[in-house]
Amino acid sequence: MGFFNKLVSGLTKTRDNLVNQIKSVLSGKKISEELFEELEEILIVADVGVASTMEIMDNVRERCKTEKAKDGEDVEKILKEEIRDLLGDKEELVPPNTKPWVIMVVGVNGVGKTTTIGKLAAKFSNEGKKVVLAAGDTFRAAAAEQLEIWAKRADAQLISQKEGSDPAAVAYDAIQAAKSRKADVLIIDTAGRLHTKSNLMDELKKMYRVVNREMPDAPHDVLLVIDATTGQNGLSQAKVFKEATEVNGIALTKLDGTAKGGIVVAIKSELGIPVKLIGVGEGIDDLQTFDPDQFIDALFGE
Amino acid sequence: MFENLAEKLQNTFANLKRRGKLTEKDVDLALKEVRLALLEADVNYKVVKKFTERVRERAIGEEVLKSLTPAQQVVKIVYDELTILMGGTTAQLNLSHSPSVIMLVGLQGAGKTTTAGKLAKNIKERGRRPLLVACDIYRPAAIKQLQVVGGQVEVEVFSQENQKPVGIADAALKYANKNGFDVVIIDTAGRLHIDEELMQELIDIKSAVEPQEILFIADAMTGQDAVNVADSFNKNLEISGVVLTKMDGDARGGAALSIREVVGKPIKFVSFGEKLDSLEPFHPDRMASRILGMGDLNTILEKAQKAIDEKEAAAMVQKITTDDFNLEDFYEQMQQMKKMGPLDQLLGMVPGMNKLKGQANFETAEKEMKQIEAIINSMTPNERRKPAIIDASRKKRIANGAGVRVQDVNKLLKQFNETKKLMRQFGGLGGKGKRKMGMPFFN
């Protein structure tokens, strides 16, 4: 299956609901308060959130007036433009000038950090890059084993210590190993943690500090993994993780279900963190670059 | 903007309280905010609609107009309806068979394996003999994870290599029968509800082992999609209940309401953390009062009862009501409080403390607690018993010993005296005073 087809097929299930809803709402309809309310409902059900939905719809209403929108299709166009504005330009993971390229992956429990790292490692390996993975989740039972299996699949090297050891020490080891082995990319896994646990967030800050101390411009990227089924709590997660580790991108996982992942619209608009990657399946190549145009087109069924 | 549902409703009704008698318009205004709060809490759109209609029907009319405190009555109606929505009374686990079979199902990352370990521990503590069964043959190292978790709770884990999940479940049941295990907990792989092949696998496991319980494991942070997922699992498997995980975060937990309303099955447990003893029975009334910002007093009381020796507590009350309360007693109290669990978890359950939970600095509070401990530790027994004798030179010595400034010692003594005053007032309240001991110190 081609790259684009995979993305579209991944998003198809996601968009089916929305598409059907949007079409049924918009087709042949006159502009009315009822129409706006129905659009509001669709955004809310997509987990865009009350505040962002209100903001989007206020702008849509305003523009419908000034631009003299005539029917449902005009409204759709305006609505798409508004969401597109909030999502901003396409942003990819860009390698820095120095090596190794250090990427830290953070997030709450169960969002798919390790799987995302496995896929990302495979992608880099396929590009001919030398990849080192750091098993920074020293807490969860068998987390290092899980990463080890992915490392084998992706043809990457693994740096790990025994369960319960200090994750900052793992990060330190990994940086040294990545440097001495002249690796192109170092991806650091971290234990899932709820952003409300201040001691665990401190532990993460410490990892970040150690990485930064050993390599002043690192980590070059900090990816926050967000599960597409996440509701409004995603905002809270993004806010706290950003404060702790300078998160500069989101990997939106599990988009192959029926969840719409609309929370990323709110996260981008409130906190300015762009989505860079999306996960559309469990296969090793089911990680895609996030493209806002395709994302919206897929949402609106084009 | 990160207010939780409890705070939001509290604010809504704080406004109502100031307005005195309720009109139809007031109720609508309140419900508009309730509606927004519920949506922000991730309660499903349709569930919110139904819920607010139900409350409106009950709130507008005689009942409210006749009441002396109309606002309180609306709070009660919202509370009642929330309780009803979430299931009325506490639902028990069906363990009547031998072996009783429990299947855990859900999306990837919901917390099935961790829950399996917690459930095994919980069941073991009831004097039963559980067996854990590893049926997740897909996720890398999932079996290993269950084995580690099983080791931690000292429960045997059944696994087989190169077998399909149905075969493993079947063999596990036979193994349990042969070896005297009376509860079988089957951990299954996480899967998407729209993955027909893997849903069929669950259906096959179900018909092979005929479980008494099929528990749907749901992440408390789930958004609007919770209804689709739960509905789909329920239609395929006829689940018997729900376990809500990751409740120790700041997720507003609206998924609980949505799932309960849509699938009509009770939430049987809530899970509060990564430690294997953090599984608690779900109490709809407690959850409702928590949502409404009335606090989860019952849970905190139970925790306190577990941690505090009753005799000690009685002796403490005796001391407080008389004038004998000294720094030694205070030190004791702090130790008992520590036994109850991390501060942030506890505070989340205390009425009015929810606000604190979001912003407060538990680090600071815990640090302060440590500092207080150090100061008291640097005192002589006599000083602890009679704080009044602590003069300037003693203060200096204590400060040096504890590695703090003299001001810190002064602060502690001042706070202690204020607490003591407060304690005496609580003395007359009996049980209630017991609970609040120590809290005024953390300002």
Q: Which of B44, B141, B223 sits opposite A149 (nearest CB)?
A: B141
**For B342-349, what is the mean pLDDT?**
57
Task: Specify the pLDDT at position B39.
Answer: 87
Q: Which residues of A touch B192 (CB under 8 A)?
A: 254, 256-257
Class of the CATH-defined domain A3-87: mainly alpha
Q: Is 3.90.1640.10 the CATH number for B3-85?
A: no
Q: What percent of chain A has pLDDT over 70?
A: 89
Give residue for tokens 């099955």.
B265
Best to test chain A binding among B221, B258, B347, B367 (most A CBs inside 10 Å): B221
Average pLDDT, chain B: 79
Report chain B residues whose CB lies below 8 A from the CB of A149.
140-141
**pTM score, whole prediction:** 0.77
- Mean pLDDT of all residues in B405-428: 75
Contact (CB<8Å) A111/B109 = yes
Higher-confidence residue: A241 or B78?
A241
Residue B92 — pLDDT band, cuts 50, 70, 90? confident
Which residue in the block uniquely carries the two structure tokens 């009862």?
B305
And the tokens for A142? 């068998």
Closest approach of B14 to chain A, Cα-based (Å): 22
Average pLDDT estimate for B335-361 = 56
- Residue B12 pLDDT level (bands cut at 50, 70, 90): low
Q: Look at residue A161 and tell me whether its pLDDT is greater than 80.
A: yes
Res B207: pLDDT: 97
Query: What mean pLDDT do residues A126-147 have?
Result: 94
Contacts of A111 in chain B (CB under 8 A): 109
**% of chain B surpassing 90 pLDDT:** 40
Average pLDDT value for residue range A93-117: 95
The answer to whether A107 faces chain B, any CB pair under 8 Å, is no
Query: Interface pTM (ipTM) of the complex?
Result: 0.87
A143 close contact with B: CB closer than 8 A: yes
Encoded tokens for B125: 């503590």
Query: Is the CB of B45 less than 8 angstroms away from the CB of A108?
Result: no
Nearest to B420 by CA among B316, B326, B313, B317: B326
Rounded average pLDDT over A270-288: 92
Residue B3 pLDDT greater than 50, yes or no: no
Domain with CATH 1.20.120.140 in chain B: 3-85
Could you say which of A109, A232, A256 has the minimum Cβ distance to residue B42?
Answer: A232
Nearest residue of chain A to residue B228 (CA atoms): A258
- Per-residue confidence (pLDDT) for residue B244, from 0 to 100: 93
In angstroms, the CA B431 to CA B313 distance is: 10
Give the model's pLDDT for residue B33.
Answer: 75
Task: Look at residues A282, A265, A286 and name the one whose alpha carbon lies nearest to residue A274.
Answer: A265
Is pLDDT of A276 > 90?
A: yes
Rounded CA-CA distance A138/A136 in Å is 6
With cut-offs at 50, 70 and 90, classify the pLDDT of residue B388. confident
Question: What pairs with residue B188 in β-bridges?
Answer: B135
Q: Indicate whether B442 pLDDT > 50.
A: no
Instruction: Kindly report the nearest CA distance between residue B88 and chain A, in angstroms.
Output: 25
Pick from A141, A145, A236: CB nearest B250: A236
B254/A257 Cβ within 8 A: no
Q: Which one-letter DSSP state was computed for residue A273?
A: P
Is A232 within 8 Å of chain B by CB? yes
Domain boundaries A101-300, CATH class? alpha beta
Q: Residue B62 pLDDT more than 60?
A: no
Instruction: pLDDT band for B347, please (50, 70, 90 cuts).
Output: low
pLDDT digits over A164-173, tens only? 899 999 999 9
Higher pLDDT, B90 or B17: B90
The answer, yes or no, to whether residue A260 has pLDDT greater than 60, is yes
Are B145 and A142 inside 8 Å of each other by CB?
A: yes
Q: Looking at residue B316, what is its pLDDT? A: 61
Of A109, A194, A231, the CB nearest to B254: A231
Domain B309-427 -> CATH class: mainly alpha
Where along chain A do the CATH 1.20.120.140 domains lie?
3-87
Q: Name every residue whose Cβ is closer than 8 Å to that of residue B422 and which is 6 or more positions away in sequence.
A: B440
Cα distance between residue A107 and residue B169, in whole Å = 33
Question: Distance (Å) from the C-alpha of residue A173 to the closest C-alpha of chain B?
Answer: 23
CA dist., res. B225 & res. B204, Å (int): 26
Distance of alpha carbon B196 from alpha carbon B242, whole angstroms: 21
Query: By the CB < 8 Å criterion, does A9 face chain B?
Result: no
Taking 70 as the threshold, does the pLDDT of residue B363 lie above it? no
The span from the CA of A109 to the CA of A227, in Å, is: 10
Partner-chain residue, chosen from A197, A231, A254, that has the shortest CB–CB distance to B42: A231
For B111, which of A109, A198, A230 is closest by C-beta distance? A109
What 3-state DSSP class applies to A46?
Answer: coil
Choice between B88 and B232, residue whose per-residue pLDDT is larger: B232
Give contacts of B36 with chain A, Cβ < 8 Å: 50
Q: Outline where DSSP puts E strands in B168-248.
A: 183-188, 213-219, 241-245
Which pLDDT band, with edges at 50, 70 and 90, does B137 fall under?
A: very high
Write down the mean pLDDT value for chain A.
88
Contact call for residues B41 and B288 (beta carbons, < 8 A): no
Please tell me which residue of chain A has the smallest CA distance to B247.
A194
Q: How far apart are CA B27 and CA A208, in angstroms?
A: 50
Reply yes or no on whether the pLDDT at A10 is more than 60: no
- Kindly tell me if the per-residue pLDDT of B443 is higher than 50: no
Residue spans in chain A of domains classed CATH 3.40.50.300: 101-300
**Cα–Cα distance measured from residue B391 to residue B377, given in angstroms and rounded to the nearest whole number:** 17
Q: Which residue of A has its CA nearest to B191?
A: A257
Q: What is the mean pLDDT of the segment spanning B240-248?
A: 92
* Edge-to-edge strand list for the sheet holding A249-253: A157-159, A131-134, A185-189, A101-106, A221-227, A249-253, A275-279, A287-289
Residues of B in contact with A199 (CB under 8 A): 363
- The 8-class DSSP code of residue B60 comes to S
Distance between B152 CA and the closest CA of chain A, angstroms: 10
How far apart are alpha carbons B36 and B49 in whole angstroms?
11
Q: How many CB atoms lie within 10 A of CB A236?
A: 22
Tens digit of each residue's pLDDT (9 = 90 or more) over B163-211 = 999 999 999 999 999 999 999 999 999 999 999 999 999 999 999 999 9
A58-68: pLDDT as tens digits: 999 999 999 99
Interface test with A, best of B35, B108, B148 (most A CBs within 10 A): B108
Nearest CB among B1, B221, B254 relative to A230 is that of B221
Q: What is the pLDDT confidence band of residue B437, given thresholds at 50, 70 and 90?
A: very low
In the predicted structure, residue A22 carries a pLDDT above the cut 60: no
Smallest Cβ–Cβ distance between A149 and the set B107, B140, B152 belongs to: B140
Examine the pLDDT at B72 and tell me if it is beyond 90: no
* B225:A257 CB<8 A: yes
pLDDT of residue A2: 40
CB contact under 8 A, B194 and A143: no
- What's the confidence (pLDDT) of residue B362? 61
Which residues of chain B are within 8 Å of residue A50 when distances are taken between CB atoms?
A: 36, 39-40
Q: Do A145 and B109 touch (CB under 8 A)?
A: no
Chains A–B, number of C-beta pairs less than 8 Å apart: 155
Whether A110 and B219 lie within 8 Å, measured CB to CB: yes
Min distance B19 CA to chain A CA atoms (Å): 26
Is the Cβ pair B223, A50 closer than 8 Å? no
Within 8 A of B40 by CB-CB distance, chain A residues are 49-51, 232
CB-based contact, A24 to chain B, within 8 Å = no
The number of C-alpha atoms within 13 Å of B159 and in the hemisphere containing its C-beta is: 20
pLDDT classification of A218: cutoffs 50, 70, 90: very high
Tell me which chain B residues have a C-beta less than 8 angstroms from the C-beta of A163: 148
Q: Helix A292-299 and helix A72-87: axis angle, to 10°?
A: 150
Evaluate whether A110 touches A120 at the Cβ level (below 8 Å). Answer: no
Question: Closest to A142 (Cβ–Cβ): which among B2, B141, B249?
Answer: B141
State the nearest Cα–Cα gap between A96 and chain B, in angstroms.
Answer: 31
Chain B, nearest residue to A202 by Cα: B363
CATH 3.40.50.300 fits B100-282, yes or no: yes
What is the sign, positive or negative, of the torsion defined by CA atoms of B337, B340, B344, B346?
negative
